[in-house]
Amino acid sequence: MLKKVTLLTTCFLFLFSVGSHAQRKSKKKNSKGTITATTKKPEEKKGPKPYDKVIDSTAITQKGLIDVHKMDKKFLFEISDSLIGKEIMTITRYSKTPAGGGIFGGEEINRQVVKFERGLNDNILLRSITYVIMSPDEDKPIARAVKNSNSDPIIGNYDILAYKKDASGKENTGYVIDMNSTFDADVQTFSLSPINKQLLSIQSFQKDKSFIQDIKSFPINTEIRSVKTFSTEQPRISRTPSPKIGVDLPSGLDAGVVTLELNTSMLLLPEKPMRKRLFDKRVGYFANDYDVFKEESLKADREVFAVRWKLEPKNEEDAQKQKNGELIEPKKPIVYYIDPATPDKWKPFIKQGIDDWKVAFEFAGWKNAIRGEYWPENDPTMSLEDARFSVLRYFAADIPNAYGPNVHDPRTGEILESHIGWYHNVMSLLRDWYLVQTAAVDPRARNKKFDDKLMGELIRFVSSHEVGHTLGLRHNMGASNATPVEMLRNKEFIDKNGHTSSIMDYARFNYVAQPEDNITDLFPRIGDYDKWAIKWGYSYFKDAKSEEEEKALLNTMTKEAYKNRRLWFGTETSPYDPRYQTEDLGDNAMKASEYGIKNLKRILPNLIDWSKEDGEDYSELEDLYGSLIGQFRRYMGHVTKNVGGIYETPKTYDMEGAQYEVTPSTIQNDAVSFLNTQLFKTPKWLLDENILSKINPDNGVEAIKNLQNNTLSSLLSGDRLIRLIETSSVNKENYSVDKLMTDLKKGIFSELRSGTSIDVYRRNLQKLYVNELIDALDVDGKQTARGLNRRSVKYSETDIPSIARGQLSELKREIKTALTITSDRLSKFHLQDVLAKIDAALDPK
């Protein structure tokens, strides 16, 4: 055994010796076939090199936030030592997109905060920062606990190619790194998210067809333009295709790949963060938040703060002038540029919509605080995707919409820039809205195509609304409720105040005004609430030394403002407050909707004349008729929300009154009465045969049934019934489930008492109602609904099945009586069928 080990050891040593020799020399045949030995060059030493060996005389250098050196076809980044640890906002947008995917150049696709830090060796790390928890007590032990629970992911690791030295040659002032592998690759922070890829049917990244197109660097930002190519999921042929997420991009179907151009802005966040303005739910601002752990607190606090621009005086002298009541110009005004791709004739109207906000800022003590400007196309120092500039981008899209986002500092809520999105087809939506809501009183609306002045004014209104969002303002769906319905017909009041107190409401146009009122001002405008909201968000408190001191001053202002109903904020997220609704007007939905229906009845017979064009088909007529039906449906929805309604008025401890109040029983009763009259009593006026014969033959019986079914299902939804049970238990005078079902039965089955024949529309409606009651019996015990606390509630554990059973039993008796006096053949068949359904439901055996 010992000999074998020795032999193996000797063999190993011999092999190792040969192998070592082979590594030093290799044999090579020359042209004559003779074998010669060659010596391999020693490997180049790794690690940083002298700066001038890496950044040589051929480099094209741009100075900025990050110094960028272009070396042949490669970009090298020089990260200054002062930038290490600083927080940088990265915003990635589409620059160019494939057609047909519903995505457009200028739209944001990713946003993240990152920072560079020194690694353990000669390397630089790039970390992604997410703000979830914070601690202001940085010198206390709890700050260590927060750090231990808040590890930032590493998204890049770069070897330092060279150190930049100071004049003495001893201190490092910068680090040269190669980040090409980050920006010409598919790093999620600077590319599409997995969800976006799924929606667009994008698959694997094509490295060989992707590259960095250009990089520009400026004092506070660096802009990276890249081209990225992806393979796409090809459609599958199947006899039973399953639903597919996303779209098939036409270029992907043609070529199997899609190419996108992206722009990433790396924008240095302010070194001195703006003071936060603590959120107040009585004023409608977008907000940011995170959990704050303090050394002396008993629990983590949720710190919520408003999103807004930073406006400050130029100097102390100006600050004092403002405090004394004088308007001053801010150190840095808010500027929005208009995309040069915008049609020239609309640019002035969009600019007016931006400039309209100047008056609101004057209420906060600022003059010339905001303005719109036309984009300087020949300025090479400016780019539409550059994060230093706010731009209203114009998209060649068939989407009828516009939107107003903002990019803000997640630490403080300071808005840094905004790119408003404007889709071309928003003008068709404006045409439909304005015609259907105002053509009864405004002759200019009685055309297939509006003149440029009218369309320009509509564009101006939308521009103002979207700019409001980019200033931090949310929708104020309660603003229109501050105006009594009858005042919407008062010309003097409307000329002075408009029909809503906020342009941030969805209170499109004054559909309540009647022809005899002679009202010509039908548009929303910057209103009382908007001015107050800007004052709350942008007032500068010269002497306030902390967020808490500002909060106290703002609270005093807000309590005073609450004395004026026109200055209230009504959230867009309340599911049960009927005062907060989209597209509604006035303080009483029943009265406002009745006026609106009167105008729809005036408009409907004229739709053919107002949409006609020789040589064209009836598609415009069909669109307008659909818009009119949609407007009627909205009225029904506005009224329905009163049933089971609960008013929600934000209050603080130092204010009187309750936050939550039940919608008065009289109003709920009026709502059901309205629905019985305007909807459940067949609205045959909608069935204009002259129109239906030209657009769609099935817009009759089934169309009416669908309208009625939508409202009926909503009225008897479990969530609403649970609210009615809750509120009627507090006070017997409050509207109840039994009262709702009794009132509906009287309206829907009114023929039982009169003995008159029941036509096909009413027969359908009655079947729908009985089916709803049968479902409410919850025979299988599976029906659930959400309570006021949003928790699931089983029907079987409530009064809902009991009341439904009682209602069906009463209806059964009434039908039996009615059958003795009903002579119409189809009416009798119908009632017998309904009776059989009720019997089977009440006694399944």
Task: Give the three-state DSSP class for 408.
Answer: strand
For the segment 324-348, the average pLDDT, to the nearest whole number, is 96
For the segment 729-737, the average pLDDT, to the nearest whole number, is 95
Taking the CA atoms of 360, 364, 367 and 372 in sequence, report the sign of the dihedral they define. negative
19 versus 753: the higher-pLDDT residue is 753
Q: Given this model, what pLDDT does residue 39 score?
A: 55
Cα 40 to chain center, whole Å? Answer: 63
Tell me the percentage of the chain whose pLDDT exceeds 90.
73
The whole-angstrom separation of Cα 403 and Cα 19 is 70
**pLDDT digit string, tens, across residues 626-648:** 999 999 999 999 999 999 999 99
Q: Given this model, what pLDDT does residue 136 score?
A: 65
- Which residue type, as a one-letter code, is found at position 647? Y
For the segment 519-539, the average pLDDT, to the nearest whole number, is 97
**DSSP for 786-800, written as a single string:** E-TTS-EEEGGGSSH
| Beta-carbon contacts of residue 706 (< 8 Å; ≥ 6 apart) | none
For the segment 33-44, the average pLDDT, to the nearest whole number, is 55
744 versus 96: the higher-pLDDT residue is 744
Q: Given this model, what pLDDT does residue 243 score?
A: 47
Q: Which of 241-245, 378-382, 589-593 has the highest mean pLDDT?
A: 589-593
The angle that helices 800-819 and 737-748 make with each other, rounded to 10 degrees, is 20
| Beta-carbon contacts of residue 65 (< 8 Å; ≥ 6 apart) | 83, 88, 217, 218, 219, 220, 221, 222, 266, 267, 268
**DSSP for 514-578, written as a single string:** -GGG-----S--S-HHHHHHHHHHH---TT--SHHHHHHHHHHHHHHHTTSGGG----S--SS-T
Q: Examine the pLDDT at 697 and tell me if it is beyond 70.
A: no
Q: Examine the pLDDT at 829 and tell me if it is beyond 90.
A: yes
pTM of the model: 0.88
For the segment 760-783, the average pLDDT, to the nearest whole number, is 95
- Which residue type, as a one-letter code, is found at position 368? N
Contact in structure between 509 and 438 (CB atoms under 8 Å): yes
Q: Examine the pLDDT at 406 and tell me if it is beyond 60.
A: yes
Q: Given this model, what pLDDT does residue 200 score?
A: 87
Residue 625: band (very low, low, confident or very high) from pLDDT cuts 50, 70, 90: very high
Cα 477 to chain center, whole Å? Answer: 15
Mean of all residue pLDDT scores within the chain? 89
Closest-CA residue to 336 (of 405, 274, 395, 288): 405
Q: Examine the pLDDT at 19 and tell me if it is beyond 50.
A: no
Q: Given this model, what pLDDT does residue 37 score?
A: 52
**pLDDT digit string, tens, across residues 428-479:** 999 999 999 999 999 999 999 999 999 999 999 999 999 999 999 999 999 9
For the segment 703-714, the average pLDDT, to the nearest whole number, is 96
Range of lowest pLDDT (142-146, 371-375, 536-540, 591-595): 142-146
Residue 17: band (very low, low, confident or very high) from pLDDT cuts 50, 70, 90: very low
Q: Examine the pLDDT at 38 and tell me if it is beyond 70.
A: no
CB-CB neighbours of 473 under 10 Å? 29
For the segment 494-509, the average pLDDT, to the nearest whole number, is 96
Rounded alpha-carbon distances, angstroms, from residue 728 to 716, 725, 797: 16, 5, 17
Copy the structure tokens of residue 202: 């994008």
For the segment 581-593, the average pLDDT, to the nearest whole number, is 97
The whole-angstrom separation of Cα 507 and Cα 213 is 45
The whole-angstrom separation of Cα 730 and Cα 732 is 7
Tell me which residue has tokens 């400026």. Answer: 218
Q: Where are the beta strands (DSSP E) in 520-579?
A: none
Q: Examine the pLDDT at 748 and tell me if it is beyond 90.
A: yes
Q: Given this model, what pLDDT does residue 303 score?
A: 85
Q: Given this model, what pLDDT does residue 537 score?
A: 97
Q: Examine the pLDDT at 26 and tell me if it is beyond 60.
A: no
Q: Examine the pLDDT at 238 and tell me if it is beyond 80.
A: no
Range of lowest pLDDT (22-36, 98-112, 456-470, 752-766): 22-36
Tell me which residue has tokens 């606090």. Answer: 301
Q: Examine the pLDDT at 1 and tell me if it is beyond 50.
A: no
**pLDDT digit string, tens, across residues 171-218:** 889 999 999 999 989 999 999 988 888 888 888 999 999 999 999 998
Contact in structure between 685 and 674 (CB atoms under 8 Å): no
Tell me which residue has tokens 């050196």. Answer: 69
Task: Give the three-state DSSP class for 126.
Answer: strand
